[in-house]
Amino acid sequence: MIDATFWVAISFLLFVVLLFYFKVPQKIDQSLNESIKGIKNEIEHAEKLKDEAKNILSDYDTKVSKSKAEIKKMLENAEKQSEQNIIKTNEDFHFVIENRKKTAEDKIKQMKLQAIKDMKNSAVEIAVNSVEKIIKNSIDKKKLDKIYVSSIDEAKKILKNKSI
């Protein structure tokens, strides 16, 4: 009269009683609670890390924006400085060219004056030589020597006055 179903029911009840006797459901509950606590702690830790990451990201975003502003200012300053350097270089170039032009003009004037002096000196020499030849051919030697010496002295005085 006791069949297999009865024994299965009894063994099931015995199994359930043993489970409660050894406090298995409480241990399972305790284990699950510990796992839940661990997961909650990990989630809280992950939230803290997420907040820290957001803070770090915002700090870096701020630093990047500040860096961009500084770079923009540096570029503007570099552009201004380069423009000033170009203007200064251009002015210096024009100044140097103007000085060279003036120097060249002064040299040309000096060379022109020197050429005029040289032409005058040559003309005087030619005139003196011509007068000398004319006088030698037309006057006797004593008169010629006196006229020659006086005309040379006079020519030298005139040349000295014109040279000065």
Taking residues 28-45, report their average pLDDT. 94
Mean pLDDT is lowest, of 70-84, 103-117, 129-143, for 129-143
Cβ–Cβ < 8 Å for 125, 151: no
Taking residues 91-118, report their average pLDDT. 94
Cβ–Cβ < 8 Å for 147, 135: yes
- What does the pLDDT look like over 52-81, one tens digit per residue? 999 999 999 999 999 999 999 999 999 999
Domain ranges, ordered by start, for the chain? 4-163
Q: Is the pLDDT of residue 90 over 80?
A: yes
Cβ–Cβ < 8 Å for 25, 19: yes
- What does the pLDDT look like over 114-133, one tens digit per residue? 988 888 888 888 888 777 77
Q: Is the pLDDT of residue 22 over 90?
A: no
Taking residues 102-110, report their average pLDDT. 95
Taking residues 19-45, report their average pLDDT. 91
Concatenating the DSSP letter of every residue in 12-44 gives HHHHHHHHHHTTHHHHHHHHHHHHHHHHHHHHH
Q: What is the pLDDT of residue 68?
A: 95
Mean pLDDT of all residues belonging to the chain: 88
Minimal CA–CA distance to 22: which of 32, 12, 33, 14? 14
Unique residue bearing structure tokens 């997961």: 39
Within its chain, how far is the Cα of 9 from the centroid?
95
